[in-house]
Each structure stands twice: as C-alpha cells, then as structure tokens.
A and B are shown apart, each in its own frame.
Chain A
Amino acid sequence: MTAEFVALARSLERRDRLSPEERSLIEQLPARKRRFDSGDELVVEHSEPSESCLILTGIVARAQFLPDGKRQLTAVHIAGDFVDLHALLLKLMDHSVVALTPCDAAFVPHSSLIAAFEASPHLGRLFWLSTVIDGAIERAWVTSLGRRSASVHLAHLICELFVRLETVGLVRGNSFDFPITQTDISDMIGLSLVHTNRTIQDLRSSGLITWERKVVTIPDQQRLRDFAEFDPTYLNLINRPR
C-alpha cells in the first residue's frame, strides 16, 4: 500500500477484509497532496468541493462558526480519516474542516471515488461505513456535551482518541501526540477556557492522565475507561463481513 493510503487501509481493515483488488482500487485513487498550517481551512463552509479529503498526518476538526465569533468543533479527524465524504453526496458543505495542527491531506476527485465504488460495491459500503461511524462518534459527543460532567467528558474524549489513534498505529505504548491548544479542547467540549484548563488539571492531579509537552499518557487504561464510562462499541472495531 502506498504511503498515503496506509492509515486508511488500516482503518478499513480493522472493520472488514479488503480483497487484493480492493486494495489496488484504493492505491490507484489519484491523490493531490497538500500541506496545511494549523488554523488553515481544508474545506470551506458553503463551498462545493469536487474532491474529498483524506487526512495523511496531523489533526483536523469539523467546525461550525457562530455570528459572534464563537466556534464549536463537532468532530475531530486523524490520519486515515476521509473527512468530507459527505460532500460527495451533500454537494454543498454545511461546515468547515480546519487544521488544528500542521497537517498533510490528499484530495481525491469525487469521480474517481464513484468509479472505485462502482467497481467494488463492497468498497463503497466500507466508505459508507466510515461515514456511519462518524455519525456514531457524533452521537457519543452529543451525549457528552449534553449530559456528562466536564472531567468525564474530557476523559471520554481522551479514551476515544487513544483507540482511534491506536487503530491507525499512531500511539506509542500508553502515549499519543496531542499538540492542540486548550482553546481547541474547549471548543470541542463546549466549556469555557478556564474550566477546560481546570478539568485538564483535575484529570492530571487524580493520576488518570499525564499531559506534558503535547503528549498525553494514560498510565492505567482501565481506570480511565471506568472513570469515563467509556464503551468503545460505537467505534465499531470489529472485523466482520459488511
């Protein structure tokens, strides 16, 4: 598998088997690579993209902006995530995708994706699955936003990120790189900056995580999962025919 599609293939293969033909269909997708700085928009709200965007490195988020300048991040995406498969069907973007860290992305023409899905309807279903899982993640986020306390919400998010990063081979032992700002976190969990900052300190002082020099470490996975009431079912990490 060529470098740009390794993480994507890993993510798909955690959920189902890819045939050699499907692997080569993925490899043959034309990919126009671009580098973004943190803060850049990869996909712009109200635009009508003719390509979908695959994250290769870095961390990006779906963002919705309010007239008063506030922002809610409604999803976070990592290497191997196709962030705007939505646009393939929706056409007009109802939100932006912004880079939270410097990142590399590959843009694949919608026409090439449709051709690959027509050659392998099963591959099409796996891409469909990825948008269905995006929906499942959003449900988990809505539940956290609406009902979980700040520290449980943040712990839940950290458990989720660890599992997702582990799926694409981006954790080291119990640690992962998380070079995003506290403002980004506060826009994800919908809390004030000060409360977000205190919540991070709470998790740290209770020994559930360490968070130093942009690296998050989870000393005891089970303890953090218990605290976060984290059940990874919604991430659908089961390999089965789909």
Chain B
Amino acid sequence: MARYYFDVDDGVVFTLDQDGIECASMDELRFAAIDDLPDLARDQMPDGDHTKILVKVRDAGGSYLFEASLTLDVKWAAGEMDKSEP
C-alpha cells in the first residue's frame, strides 16, 4: 500500500493534491484516476470549444507515473444528414 497524489488540470486551474490516497496496486491507481474524470466533468462542465481535463498521478517522491484525460470538443455542425440510407 503506497500513497499517490492526483493532481488535476481542468483547463483553467491546476490543483495540487495535498493529501493523496492509498492504492494497493497499479490497477487500483489506474482505476482511481479514470474513475475521477466523469466526476470532474460533471462538477465543472467546461466552458469553451476545446477543453481537456487532465489527472496526473505522482508518487510520494514527486515522480509522475500515470495520466488520464477527458476531452470536450464543441462545434456548430454543417451539412445535411444522409437520407439515402434506410
């Protein structure tokens, strides 16, 4: 069991994790980082057309060892739907 720190860049603010959480394995760390992304997106729906929420995981020594991100791309669509297909 080791403690890892999950820093977040939500496109506007970079938040340094002060407390960290304990993870028993690398799989658990990976799951914790990915599991965090939908919560982050739900909490602060990003503004703008291109936003990336990034979670970077570091160990107690300060080395980054994993990252996961979620991207929101927004644009006004153009063109017609394809009506030839049933």
Residues of A at the B interface (CB closer than 8 Å) are: 149-151, 182, 191-195, 197-198, 200-201
Choice from A194, A197, A198, A201 contacting B33 with Cβ under 8 Å: A194
**Cβ of B35 under 8 Å from chain A:** yes
Choice from A150, A151, A191, A193 contacting B21 with Cβ under 8 Å: A193
Query: Number of residue pairs across A and B with beta carbons under 8 Å?
Result: 42
B19 → A minimal CB distance (Å): 6
B38: chain A residues at CB < 8 Å are 192
**Cβ of B32 under 8 Å from chain A:** yes
**B39 A150 Cβ-Cβ under 8 A:** yes
**B21 A182 Cβ-Cβ under 8 A:** yes
- CB contact list, B1-34 vs A, under 8 A: 6, 8, 15, 17-21, 32-33
**B19 A195 Cβ-Cβ under 8 A:** no
Looking across the interface, which residue of chain A has its beta carbon closest to that of B32? A194
**B19 A192 Cβ-Cβ under 8 A:** no
Looking across the interface, which residue of chain A has its beta carbon closest to that of B35? A192
Q: Do A201 and B35 contact each other (CB < 8 Å), given the known contacts A150-B43, A194-B6, A195-B40?
A: no
Choice from A149, A150, A191, A200 contacting B19 with Cβ under 8 Å: A200
Looking across the interface, which residue of chain A has its beta carbon closest to that of B23? A193
How far, in whole Å, are A201 and B55 apart by their CA atoms in the complex?
Answer: 16
How far, in whole Å, are A151 and B43 apart by their CA atoms in the complex?
Answer: 9
How far, in whole Å, are A141 and B40 apart by their CA atoms in the complex?
Answer: 20
**B43 A194 Cβ-Cβ under 8 A:** no
Q: Do A201 and B17 contact each other (CB < 8 Å), given the known contacts A149-B43, A150-B43, A194-B55?
A: yes
